[in-house]
A and B are shown apart, each in its own frame.
Chain A
Amino acid sequence: MNKQKALFAGVVVLVVAMVAALLVALVLLSIGASPLETYKTILTGPLSDLFGVTEVMVRAVPLMLVGLGIAISFRSGILNIGAEGQIQMGVIAATAVALALPGQPKAVLLPLALLAGALGGAIWGGIAGWLRARLQVNEILSTVMLNYIAAQIYTFLLRGPMLDPNELETGSGTPQSMRLPDAAFLDYLVPGTRLHTGLILALVAAVLVWVLLWKTTLGYRMRAAGAGAKAARYAGIPVERYLIIAMLLAGGFAGLAGAVEVTGVHHRAIEGISSGYGFAGIVVALFGGLHPGGIVPSAVFFGILLIGADMTQRTTAVPANMVLVLQGVIILSIVSAQSFLRNPYAQERLLRWLARFLPGASSEQKGGQP
C-alpha cells in the first residue's frame, strides 16, 4: 500500500508539472512567445555558468526558510499567507538591531540580528495565530491584511525614522536604511559571488524542522491538531495553543528569511526586499509535499524559475510576472491532485482505466486497494 502511495505521489508531481506547463504554454502562445524557447531559457539559462548557479542558490535560501515555516503552519492546520509581511518585519527587526549596536564583535552582533529578525517575524505571525485561536478570525484573511499593513509600516519606516541620513544630505531620497556594520554580514561561501552562509543555515533549519515535526511531542501534537482538530481535542491536545505556536514558528522562519536577506545579500533594508518570496514560499512548500526533504529541492527548483523568469524578460520579452501565473497554476493543480491522492475510489477507477491499455499490468493492480 505504501509503495503504491509513493508511486502515486511521484506520478502526481509529474502530472501536475506537465499540466501546469501546458496551461502556461497557452498563455505564452497568446502573447506570441514560443513556449519551448521560453521554457528552455527559464530552465537552462540560470544553470549555464557558476555565477548563475550561485544566484539560484541565493534565491533558494529565503524560499527554503519561508517554505519550511509555511509547511509547519499548514501541517498544523493553519494557512499562513502572511509570509510576505513577516519577512518585512524580520528585515526591520534585524536591521534595527544591527544598526543599534555598531561596536559589537561579529560573534555577538550577527546572531543577535538573525534572532531579532526571527522574533520580528514571529510576532507578526503570532498576531494572526492569536486572532485565529482566541477570536476565530479566519487566518487567511487576517494574514493577507497583515501583509498590506506590514508593507505600509515598512515604507513608513524606510522613508521616515530609518531613512539613511546620507540620502537626505545628497537629496537622492532613495528610501533605504543605513548600511549595516560589517560585523553583521553573513560570510560569502563562494568568493566572487553573492552566495552566503545563509545556505548552511537554511539546510540546518530543514533538518531541525524535520526533527521537530516527526521526532518530538510538540511536532506530533501540532500535526495532530492539523490532521483533525476535533480528534486532537478529544485526545487532550489544546489545539488553540498549538495553532499559536505554529504561527509563531512560521512567522519566525519567514522573519529569519528576511534577516538572512538583509545580512547576506543587500546589507541594508531596501524597498521590495521580500520580492514575492512570501507567496513563492507557499508554492515551494506545497510542491515539496510540506516535508523538509521535498522543500529543499523544490526551493532550488523555484530559485531556477525566478532567475529564469528574469532572463526571459530580457531575452524573449516575456514579462517576469509570468512566474506568478506559473505559481498560481501550480497551486491549483497541486490542490486538485491532492484530493485525488486522498480518494482511493478515484485512484482505483484510474488504475482500471489504465489497465485497459496495459493488459500485462492487470494482475499487478489487484489487491492493495482498501
Chain B
Amino acid sequence: MNMGVGIYNVLCLAVPFSVAILVAALGENFNQRAGVFNLGCDGIMCMGAFLGFMLPYSVKTGALAPYGNLLGLACAMAVGAAFGLLFALVTVTFRASQGIAGIGLQMLGWGLSGTLFRHFVGGVTGVEGIASMPIPGLSKIPFLGGVLFSHNPLAYVAFLLVPASWFLLYKTPWGLKVRAVGTHPRAADTMGIRVDRTRYQALMLGGAMAGLAGAYLSLCQAKMFSDDLVAGRGFIAVALVYFGRWSPLGILGGALLFSIAQSFQLSMQVWGIKFPYEFAVMLPYVLVIVVLALARKARQLGPTDLGKPYNREMRF
C-alpha cells in the first residue's frame, strides 16, 4: 500500500466527517459564550436530521420537488431555533439547572424525531439528498483538490462559518454582548445590555446551527434517516467547544482531529488490519474523554459564568 495514497484517502474522508460536528460545535460555542451550557445539542441535531430528510422526502412528487432540499435545510434550522428558544425559556427565564435540562431536551429531540419518523415514514428509505459539488478549477489541483475542493456545498459553507463566527464574536457589537453576558452578566446588565435577551438570541442561533448540522447528516452524508444517525455527535460537539478553548479556530482544529481519527479507523478496516470492529467504533468516544482530561487547564479561558443562571433581582 502506497503511504501517500493512504494519507490522501484518510484526509479525503475526514473533511466530510468533520462538517456536522464542526457546525454544531460552532453553534454550541455561541451558547457557551453567552453562558449557557446546552447539552440538548444532540437532540436538536436529531430533529434537524429528521426534518432535513422529511421535507425532500414528502415533496418528492409535488410541485415543490426542486426546492425540497432547500426547504429541508430551512426547516431544520427553524426547528433548531425553536428548540433553542424552548431551552432558553427553561434555562434563562425559569433558571433551571442547565445540565439536567439539556438531557431532557436531548431525550425530547431524540424521541420526537424517532416517533415522527416511525409514524410518517416507517422503514428505511433514502432521499436523493444534496450531491457533492467539486469546485471547477480548484478541484483539479493535485492532492489538495481532492482533499479540500471536492465536497458537498454544505461542507464549504461549514468551513466559511469558522471565519464568519469568529467575526461575529469578536468584531461585531452583538458578539461583544454575547461574550459580556457569558463572562460577567451583572456588569453587562449595568452597562444596559439585556442579559436575558442576548442569551435567548445566542441560544436560538446555536440551535439553528445544530439543526443545520443534523440536516447535513441526513441530506448530505447518509442520505437517509434513522434513530441512531446522530449517535452522540451532539455531545462530541459540546466536548469540542472545551477542546477548542471557545475559539472558532480551535474548534475547527478539534473537529478535524476527531474526523481524522474516525476516517483512520474506517480506513484500517478497508486495509484489512485485524482489529475488533467494536473497539474501532468506540475510539472517538474514548478520545473525547482523553481530550477533556487534557483540556482541563483551558477552563480558565472559558466564559466565567458558564452554567450559572442570572437573576437581576438577586444580590450575591
Contacts and interface: CB of A to CB of B under 8 A. Distances in A.
Interface string B115-127: 1101110000000
A78 B289 CA distance: 17
B43 A328 contact: yes
Contacts of B270: none
A135 interface: yes
Q: Which of A144, A159, A327 has the most CB of B within 10 A?
A: A144
Given A142-B289, A148-B232, A335 B105 contact: no
Contact of B111 (A138, A140, A160, A324): A324
Nearest to B122: A319
Contacts of B43: 328
Which of A32, A329, A336 is packed against the most chain B CB atoms within 10 Å?
A336
B114 A319 contact: yes
Given A136-B299, A140-B39, A149-B282, A335 B232 contact: no
Given A149-B285, A286-B100, A144 B232 contact: yes
B140 interface: no
A322 interface: yes
B80 to A, nearest CB: 16
Contact of B107 (A137, A155, A279, A339): A279
Contacts, number: 151
A53 B238 CA distance: 42
Interface residues of B, number: 51
B106 interface: yes
Contacts of A317: 119
Interface size class of A (residues with CB under 8 A): 35 or more
Contacts of B130: none
Contact of B281 (A152, A319, A338): A152
B110 A137 contact: no
A340 B99 contact: no
Interface in B148-166: none
A318 B111 CA distance: 12
B86 to A, nearest CB: 8
A332 B286 contact: no
Interface in B79-94: 86, 89-90, 94
Tell me which of A32, A282, A322, A331 has the highest count of chain B C-beta atoms within 10 A of its own C-beta. A331
Nearest to B293: A135
A279 B104 CA distance: 10
A229 interface: no
Contacts of A332: 86, 90, 96, 101, 104-105, 108
Given A81-B103, A156-B276, A339-B309, A149 B286 contact: yes
B289 A328 contact: no
A31 B293 contact: no
B279 interface: yes
Given A152-B279, A332-B105, 13 more contacts: A79-B99, A79-B103, A135-B292, A148-B282, A152-B282, A153-B278, A319-B114, A322-B111, A325-B111, A326-B111, A328-B111, A332-B90, A339-B95
